[in-house]
Amino acid sequence: MAVATTARWLLLLAVVSAAAASGKHERWRVGGQVVEKERRRVVAESEAGSVSAVDVADAAGTAYRLHFITMDPGALFLPVQLHADMVFYVHSGRGKVTSIEEESSEQSSLEVERGDVYNFEQGSILYIQSYPNASRQRLRIYAIFTSEGINADDPSKPKVEAYSSVSNLVKGFETDVLRLGFGVKPEVVEAIKSAKTPPPIIAYNPEEEKGDKKPGWTENIIDALLGVRDPEEFLNKKKKKKDKHKEQEKQRRREKEEEERARRREEEEREREEEEERRREEEEGGGGRGDEPEREEEGGDKPPYRLSKKLKKRYHARAGVFSRSG
Q: How much is the mean pLDDT over the chain?
A: 72
Answer yes or no: do 223 and 89 share one domain: no
As a whole number of angstroms, the distance between CA 178 and CA 62 comes to: 38
Between 204 and 249, residue with greater pLDDT: 249
**Model confidence over 125-152: pLDDT tens digits?**
888 999 988 888 999 999 998 866 665 5
Q: Are residues 120 and 141 in the same domain?
A: yes
Of 20-29, 127-136, 170-179, 251-260, the poorest mean pLDDT is in 20-29
- At residue 46, does pLDDT exceed 80? yes
Does one domain contain both 114 and 212?
Answer: no
Residue 62 — very low, low, confident or very high, per pLDDT cuts 50/70/90? confident
CATH number of the domain that residue 65 is part of: 2.60.120.10
The backbone region for 15, taken as left when phi is positive above 0, alpha when psi lies in -120 to 50, beta otherwise, is: alpha
d(CA 323, CA 291): 19
CA distance 89 to 113: 9
Range of the domain at 196: 175-239
Q: Which residues contact 2 (CB under 8 A, 6 or more apart)?
A: none
**What is the band of 215 on the pLDDT scale with cuts at 50, 70, 90?**
very low
Domain count, the chain: 2
Domain end marker among 135, 164, 193: 164
Query: Is residue 148 located within the same domain as residue 205?
Result: no
Is there a domain that residue 326 lies in?
A: no
Contact 221, 193 (CB under 8 A): no
Helix axes 186-194, 217-226, angle to 10 degrees: 20
212 and 68 within one domain: no
- Of 221, 239, 257, the one marking the end of a domain is 239
Model confidence, pTM:
0.54
What pLDDT does residue 229 have? 47
| C-alpha atoms less than 13 angstroms from C-alpha of 234 in its C-beta half-sphere | 24
In this predicted structure, what is the pLDDT of residue 11?
Answer: 53
Q: Which of 8-12, 90-94, 281-285 has the least mean pLDDT?
A: 8-12
